[in-house]
Each structure stands twice: as C-alpha cells, then as structure tokens.
Amino acid sequence: MESINGDEMIFDDGQEEKIFVSVRLRPMNAKEIAKNDSCDWECISNNTIVCKNALTERSMHSNAYTFDRVYGGEIGTKQVYEEGAKRVALAALNGINSSIFAYGQTSSGKTYTMTGITQYAISDIFDHINKQVDRDFVLKFSAIEIYNECVRDLLSADGTPLRLLDDPEKGTIVDKLTEIQLEEWTHLMELLAVCEAQRKIGETSLNEMSSRSHQIIRLTIESTANEFSVIDSASTLTATVNFVDLAGSERASQTKSAGKRLKEGGHINRSLLTLGTVVRKLGKGRNGHIPYRDSKLTRILQNSLGGNARTAIICTLSPAHTHLEQSRNTLLFAACAKDVRTSAQVNIVMSEKALVKQLQREMTRLENELKNMSTSTNDSEAIIKEKEQHIQKMEQEVKDLTQERDLARSRLEEILRAAGVDQNLLPWADSGSWDGSSAPGHLRSGSWDGSLASGHLRSGSWDGNSASGHLRNGSWDEHSMSDTSELAVNTSDVAVNPLLPSTASVNTYSFPKNHKLRNPNEDHYVFDNITPRDFMNQYFGPGPTHDWEKASQKQPRTRTSSVDSFKELEEVNEKDEAEDNEGNLGNSHVDDQIPCMLTEDVACLKTQNLTRSTSCSAVIEGDPSSYDDPASEKNVVVESKSDSDIKRLCRQDSQSSFKSVDEKEMQQDDGGIFDLSPSSRTLEKVMEYDIRRGAYRDSLVKNRGKGIEGGDEKEWGLVFEEQRRKIIQLWNECNIPLLHRTYFLLLIKGDPSDSVYIEVELRRLSFLRQTLDDVASARALTLERAMLSRKLLSKMTSGERESLFVKWGIDLESRNRRFQLAQLLWTKTDDFEHIKESADIVAKLVGFVAPNTTPMELFALSVAPKQEPQGGGIFSSWRNALSLLRY
Ligand SMILES: Nc1ncnc2c1ncn2[C@@H]1O[C@H](COP(=O)(O)OP(=O)(O)OP(=O)(O)O)[C@@H](O)[C@H]1O
C-alpha cells in the first residue's frame, strides 16, 4: 500500500508519540463578556498556556502548562485539526486504530471542535482514498452515545440500551449497532445530521444535557489491494478511527450532590477517570493491567487505545474566570494523559487527594444520614417502608462512592508509586481510613505532610514552600526559586521523576551564559546595598576593564625601540583576541598591557611620530644608570625582578591580593612609605615618591627648553600635576588594575615628551568612565523598572491591557500582542518619568508572563545589554530573557 508521505507521513517510523495532547482555548462568549467576566488564560507560545490569575492561589497551583500544542481563541479548527489530530486520524488509512477525544467542561467547545475535526478528517480520508488506485476501500460509519453507562445507537430511533459483547476476534463489540457504509461526502453530512438530531432527542427524552453523555462517531476503514496493486493483492487492512466528544468534565468533581445527579456524576467520574488512567498507562508503555473494563467508554474504545493505536486528546477550555477551577481540572487531565512528572503531576496528586477527600466526606454524610434514618417503633408501616427504601438507595450510593473513592485512591497510589514513594506511608495505608485533614500536603521523607501544594526536593524528599524545586549548587534549595511552578512545565521535555535529584532543574529557566551559580544567600542581592558595579561584576562578569586585568596576567617583555613599540601595539591589538582565546599568556610587549586602546588614539600616536623619553625605556630596561638616586634600583622593583617574578606579581595583582615580596622590600626601603596594595593612596604615594626623589625635577631640567608649547617648564609642571591627579582619580573610578597603574607610573616620569601618553591615557580613561556610567545607569534603571514591575504586576486587569492594545494600535488578531505592547512601551519612552509610568504596565506584562518571578528571574527579564543602554537594547534583552524562560 502506498503510504501517505511527505507532510502527511503517519506513524510508520515507530518514533511518533502515540498520544498527542493539545489544549484549545475558545474565545470569550457573549454571555461571559456581558457578565464582565475576565479572561484568565492565554497561550503564550504554541505549546504553553498560562493562567493570568494565579496570584491568589499560587501556592496551590501551577499557572503555566506546556503540552504538545496549545491553541488560542483565534486559532481555527482547521489548524487544530492539521496540527493536533490529522496524523492520528489518517493513521487508520495505514491500518492503525486511532481515537481523537475532546475533553473539557460543558460549553468549552468540545462539540464545536469535534464537529470540525470529524469533517476535516473524513474529508482527508476521502481525498486519500480517491488518490489511491491500487486499493479498494470500504468506509463504515456508526455512532453511539454513552449516558449513565448505557450505550445508545445514534443512528437508530430505538432508544433501547445496547449490550457490549466480547468477541474473541474483534474484542468488545456493541451488539446490534447500526453500521452504515459511507458512500460520499453528502452521505456523511446526512449521517452527522442524524446523529446530532438523535442526540438532541436524547437530551429531551432524558431531560439531560448533551454534556453529560459521551458521543463516539466511529469510522471503520477497510482496504484491500486490487488488481493494480504491485504488492500482495490479497492483503486487507481494517482500522477504525473514533471521534469522541466526551461528557462535560465538570461532572467529574461535582459529587457533592445527591441522588440522580450524584449517580450521574459518579458515572462520568468513573469513565473519565478510567479513561485518564488508561491513556496514562498506555502513554507510559506499561505492560501491566490496564483497566479498560472499568468503564463502558474505555471498553468500547479498547481496540482503538491500546497496542499500536494512536490517540489525540484535545482539551477544550473556556478562558473565563468563572470557569477557572474547571479549566484547571481539564489541564490536569491533559497533564495526566501525558504523565507529567513535574509540579503539574503534584497537582494531579492534589486533585486526586481532594477527590478522595470529597468522596470520603460525602460517604460520611450519607452514613450519618443512614444512622439517623433508622426506623423507630412509632413509625407507621408506610413510613417504615419509605425509610427502608431510602436507606437501601443510600446504601447503594455509599457503595458507589466507595468504589469511586477507591478508584481515585488507586490512581493516587499509582502516581506516588511511579514517583517512588513508600505506599505504606500513605495516610490510609496503616489505618485503613483517610481523614483528609492534610489533603494538600508535602511529601517529606516519603510521606505527605504540611499544608501546601508541593515542595522542593531536598535530600530526596519534598520540602519547602514552593510548587516545584530548583537545583542550586547540586542541592535543592528551599525558598530560592520559590515560585518556579509558575514556569512552564514541559510535558515532553521534562519526563523525569521529580523525586530523584536530576542533573537539571525541572523548570525551564536558565541563567545568562556567563552567570555562575552562587551561594543561595546571594539571591537576596536586590535587597543589599550593592553598587551597580558590584552587581554587574557579580552577575555579568567583569566590565570593560576586564581585559585590562586579563592583560595584566601577561608577562611583560623588554622593549627595544619606542617606534617599534607602536607598530607592535597595533599588531598586538589585532592579535590580542586570538591570543586571549587560546589562553596564550606568552610574552608580549609592556604596552600590550593597555588593552582597549582606541583606534583614534593609536592613529594619533602614529601621526605624531612619537618618541618616548629615555627615562621610560631606561626604566623598562631596568637600567639603573638612568637614575641619579642610588635607591632607584630598589625603588623600581618591577623591572628588577626576573620574568617569573613578574608573572607571579601580575597574577597576584589580578587577584587583588598584591602582597608581594616587593611590598616588603619597598616598605623596608623607605620606612614603610611604600605599600603596594591596590589602594589609590598607595599609588599616589608611589607617584609622590617618584616626584620627591627627583625624577620629575630632573626630567624638567633635562628637557629645559623642550617642553610643550614653547618649553614653558612651569606651565608644563602644573599641567602634568593636574593631569596626574586626574588620571589617578579615573584609575580609581574605573578600577584600573594596579599593574597597569604601576607600569604607567614607571614609564611616565613627567618628561614633557610624555605629554602625549598622558593625553591618551586621559582620553581613554574618560571614555571608559563614560561607558561604565552609561552601562551602570542603564542597568540600575532597568533593575528599578523590574522592581517596580514586581510591585505592580497584580494590578493590571485584562480590560486595562485591552485598552492599551487599542491605544497603541496593536493588531487584534496578532498572537504576539503582549510582546508588541511591551516593545512599544520600552521603545516609546524616552524620559525617566515615562519609563516609570510604563514600567507599571510592563510590570503587569512581566507578571502576566510569570507572576511569581523570583528576583533573579526578574533581573534576567530586565537585564540590559552591556553595550546598549538604549531602550531598544533593553527591550531586546528583556525579550531574550523571556526566551530563556521559554515564554
Ligand atoms: N473555538 C471556538 N470559537 C468560537 N466559538 C466557539 C469555540 N468553541 C466553542 N464555541 C462556541 O461555544 C459554544 C459552546 O460550544 P460547544 O457546544 O462546542 O461546547 P461543549 O463543550 O460541547 O458543551 P457541552 O458539553 O455542553 O456540549 C457554542 O456556541 C460554540 O459555537
């Protein structure tokens, strides 16, 4: 048989997911809009949906869920079909049974979705059949409805419940079910109309709503190779594809009611829970017992669920706040279907526990009622009879509830077992009873404990106050990423056991590339009086002066000619990067120690055809004869050292622990005047000493008449003094490494011919200072915005956001409206007040993305690029940070 190929390749590689889970959010309906209901959900990517209103209950619930696909209200059924169901539906053409389910609460759009999906799928099947020349096809159509565990034929006017029979070959079959051979498209439409009408009649006759029944439309595809086939002409393939519109899931948890409603709720519960269990077990590829027989729905679908069958589950959601709880339950079902072992799974446990608790409460209530209903001798016979009947009914209900509770327990046990939890420690394991007093609890040392939804894994147990854990420094840290449940839970990526310390955090957050894991206590940085510069260094590595320090680790080398030095300088500047990359700390010229040399500075130096003072080269060459002062040899300690000493010195310098032998020598030499610690005072002392010892004066004398601008010694002396002070100040402000300062001081003695070096140093330092200021203030500002954002995030209503969309003219159809809005907010504001204002809004957007963002994440969201203090840069960085968070 010709396989469907290309885009339509279906499940023949064995690698395909057997269960595809997607979520479809419908738009707000007129009723919800009229009631001014808020829109709680939004699809923030093609596979993640977030609850925007999770603040109040954040410790109990995740607010971001990731599935195979999610679809916002603006996405049409065609796309839902193409991406979320087509492959599954068309698998039947290749002889693979398949089922497509719509799951969700009433009015969430199950029927709307399944009607479209059924038609698109059958249309594609027709198309495919028409193209196939080497096979003959027969399509058979049937439709049933399951209400209160009774099966009804939707193609028959007879409403008698149908029996299920076990056929040794075919498995479970529905006895006497009408099966009609499908001829063509209009025939299909007629049959679908009949089903719809029958379901409506059903509604009236049963006085029930369609949402309380399951509908299965089944298409059986039989194909046989014909005379044109090149392969075995006798081969026949038979497969079914089921389009299942499930009962409204809201019934699954509404078991508080009594009587008929309770029974109905019980049936829906059982069938949906069983379906969930079956799908989950199948998804895990379990070989053990799969409880198909626990409900008629799974029994009928058994052949289309197990084995090699394909399943697509489309969970439909109403975005309205009124339905928040139901929507969460729907998503938990979806997560359960994908066997998510993350915070969402913890929520499933919570949900199961809550259900067990609820059922138990209901049972207790009924039992108490039963006790009170005991007949008394004063009762008349009629009353006694009535009471007995009532008691009998209630006993049955208790029985049903017990069954329900046990089912929920077994599901819960199974989840916990899968997570490796000791079953004996479960509350009901030893006592046989369940008081439910700590339903939403923590698993600590293998038992449930505490009062919150879920916790952190610490030493193999759940602990802490948050929804999911974060691996930090190899251990799980309580409090640190306390709200990581707010981050997306990726059902496909994070299929790990949360109870085992994994090698990676279960959340999808990642730090910037150069970020190093730090002591957890450092997380409180935002509250410390930390300077922007410390902050930058701590979180984003060294600033622009970094290269200076790096260069300081290079070994200085003796220069031979001043002119050569500038040639070398250019060459080395070019080579620098390559050398750095290779970690090459080999010899380089002393001037190489000055990184960040501006091109214009170099050009300036070149054009002036400069020569350096002899004192400079003398010092570098360590020529003691260039000093009148006999102490000079000792004073100029750096050049008097061997290469290895200098290297060591440099390293010590770069580590800011400059306590070398030189220090001792200098201290001894000059009564403690010299202190080569990297403090500015020390350097000033060095400089003062330099001047004091006469180098400056000598050079003035030596260069008498050759000073700058006509050789005015006095003027040059003042200028030099002023520039020297300025340079020292800038060194301090820019944190220039000590080694550079030392070399500079050793080289520049105040000779008027040094003026150009001083000039260059000043210009470079001023530029550096300016850059640092810009970057620091941009970051500080961004941080401030982010902090503002955090404070204000909860205040923005969806209405406010909507009005902004309108105000900024953001395309109503766009799926990235939030990003567009954020971009406009960041880029359109150019003064601080405006930025502050917009920060309020951006805050809400940030919060909207991840309401419980931790300070670290928040900073990641607001991080400014190192070289782009402009708004656009900040925004792009913000967006990058978002993408780091996978939003
Ligand atoms: N994605 C959508 N886009 C536009 N309208 C939708 C969408 N989904 C549902 N609707 C509308 O919402 C209403 C309820 O949808 P539907 O009947 O499919 O819900 P349901 O989940 O099947 O409800 P029930 O369980 O009660 O049968 C319908 O009027 C339908 O047209």
Tell me if 76 CB under 6 Å of ligand 1: no
Q: How many A from CA of 463 to the centre of ligand 1?
A: 42
At residue 613, the pLDDT reads 32
* Residue 770 exposed, middle or buried by CB count within 10 Å (0-12, 13-18, 19+): exposed
What is the 8-class DSSP label of residue 29? P
At residue 655, the pLDDT reads 38
At residue 780, the pLDDT reads 59
Tell me if 213 CB under 6 Å of ligand 1: no
Question: If you count DSSP H runs as helices and E runs as strands, how many of each does the chain have, helices first?
Answer: 31, 20
* Beta carbons within 10 angstroms of residue 685's beta carbon: 18
Tell me if 108 CB under 6 Å of ligand 1: yes
- Nearest-Å Rg of the Cα atoms of the chain is 38
Q: How many A from CA of 117 to the centre of ligand 1?
A: 13
Tell me if 212 CB under 6 Å of ligand 1: no
Tell me if 112 CB under 6 Å of ligand 1: yes
Q: Is the CB of residue 103 less than 8 Å from the CB of residue 312? A: no
Structure tokens at 603: 């050009």
Question: Can you give the residue ranges of every domain in the chain?
Answer: 6-339, 350-475, 509-541+761-887, 546-750
**Per-residue model confidence as pLDDT tens digits over 100-151:** 999 988 888 999 999 999 999 999 999 888 888 778 889 999 999 988 888 9
Would you give the distance in Å from CA 18 to the centre of its chain? 25
At residue 78, the pLDDT reads 94
Tell me if 525 CB under 6 Å of ligand 1: no
Tell me if 338 CB under 6 Å of ligand 1: no
- 230's enclosing H/E stretch is none
Tell me if 767 CB under 6 Å of ligand 1: no
At residue 673, the pLDDT reads 30
Taking Cα atoms as reference points, which of 793, 777, 778, 785 lies closest to residue 847?
793
- Give one DSSP letter per residue of 697-740, joined into a string: HHHHHHTTT-SHHHH-HHHHHHHHHHHHHHHHHHHHHHT--HHH
- Ligand 1 atom showing the smallest separation from residue 248 Cα: 25
Structure tokens at 528: 């410390």
Tell me if 269 CB under 6 Å of ligand 1: no
Tell me if 104 CB under 6 Å of ligand 1: yes
Site to probe by mutation for ligand 1, drawn from 112, 199, 245, 316 as the one with most ligand atoms within 8 Å of Cβ, is 112
Q: How many A from CA of 85 to the centre of ligand 1?
A: 18
At residue 79, the pLDDT reads 93
Binding site residues for ATP, as ranges?
104-111
Q: How many A from CA of 205 to the centre of ligand 1?
A: 22
Site to probe by mutation for ligand 1, drawn from 107, 118, 250 as the one with most ligand atoms within 8 Å of Cβ, is 107
At residue 119, the pLDDT reads 93
Q: How many A from CA of 54 to the centre of ligand 1?
A: 25
Tell me if 210 CB under 6 Å of ligand 1: yes
Q: How many A from CA of 632 to the centre of ligand 1?
A: 92
For 733-767, the three-class secondary structure string (H helix, E strand, C coil) is: HHCCCHHHHHHHHHHCCCCHHHHHHHHHHHHHHHH
Q: What are phi and psi of 670, to 5 degrees?
A: -130, 45
- Ligand 1 atom showing the smallest separation from residue 115 Cα: 18
Q: How many A from CA of 322 to the centre of ligand 1?
A: 16
Give the largest Cα separation in the chain, rounded: 135
**Per-residue model confidence as pLDDT tens digits over 319-355:** 988 888 888 888 877 876 665 434 344 455 555 666 6
**What CA–CA distances, in Å, run from 118 to 10, 61, 124, 218, 652?**
18, 34, 10, 10, 74
Residues facing residue 21 across a β-bridge: 313
Q: ∠ CA(188), CA(192), CA(197), 5° rounding?
A: 150
Please state, in angstroms and rounded to a whole number, the distance separating the CA atoms of residues 105 and 333: 11
- Ligand 1 atom showing the smallest separation from residue 247 Cα: 25
The question of ipTM being above 0.95 is answered as yes
Q: How many A from CA of 73 to the centre of ligand 1?
A: 11
Structure tokens at 639: 């050049």
Taking Cα atoms as reference points, which of 118, 101, 81, 86 lies closest to residue 10?
86
At residue 306, the pLDDT reads 73
Q: How many A from CA of 333 to the centre of ligand 1?
A: 19
At residue 435, the pLDDT reads 33
* Beta carbons within 10 angstroms of residue 672's beta carbon: 9
* Residue 453 exposed, middle or buried by CB count within 10 Å (0-12, 13-18, 19+): buried
For 592-660, the three-class secondary structure string (H helix, E strand, C coil) is: HHCCCCCHHHHHHHHHCCCCCCHHHHHHHCCCHHHCCCCCHHHHCHHHHCCHHHHHHHHHHHHCCCCCC
Residue with tokens 């006993």: 395
Homologous superfamily (CATH) of 6-339 is Kinesin motor domain (3.40.850.10)
Q: How many A from CA of 831 to the centre of ligand 1?
A: 47
- Ligand 1 atom showing the smallest separation from residue 75 Cα: 1
Q: How many A from CA of 111 to the centre of ligand 1?
A: 6
* Beta carbons within 10 angstroms of residue 575's beta carbon: 14
Q: Is the CB of residue 878 less than 8 Å from the CB of residue 480? A: no
Tell me if 274 CB under 6 Å of ligand 1: no
- Ligand 1 atom showing the smallest separation from residue 76 Cα: 1
| Atom 20 of ligand 1, nearest CA residue | 107
* Residue 524 exposed, middle or buried by CB count within 10 Å (0-12, 13-18, 19+): exposed
Spans of the chain below 70 pLDDT: 1-17, 53-63, 200-211, 227, 229-234, 250-266, 269, 283-287, 336-356, 373-379, 408, 411-714, 771, 774-805, 807-887
At residue 194, the pLDDT reads 87
Tell me if 248 CB under 6 Å of ligand 1: yes
Tell me if 27 CB under 6 Å of ligand 1: yes
At residue 486, the pLDDT reads 30
Tell me if 460 CB under 6 Å of ligand 1: no
Would you give the distance in Å from CA 329 to the centre of its chain? 22
**Nearby residues of 248 by Cβ (< 8 Å), 6 or more positions away:** 104, 105, 106, 107, 108, 110, 209, 211, 212, 268
| Atom 8 of ligand 1, nearest CA residue | 109
Structure tokens at 631: 């102490």
- Ligand 1 atom showing the smallest separation from residue 112 Cα: 18
Q: Is 546 helix (H, G, I), strand (E, B) or coil?
A: helix
Please state, in angstroms and rounded to a whole number, the distance separating the CA atoms of residues 380 and 400: 30
| Atom 16 of ligand 1, nearest CA residue | 109
Would you give the distance in Å from CA 322 to the centre of its chain? 27
Q: What are phi and psi of 39, to 5 degrees?
A: -90, 115
Tell me if 214 CB under 6 Å of ligand 1: no
Q: How far apart are the first and last CA of the chain?
A: 43
Tell me if 482 CB under 6 Å of ligand 1: no
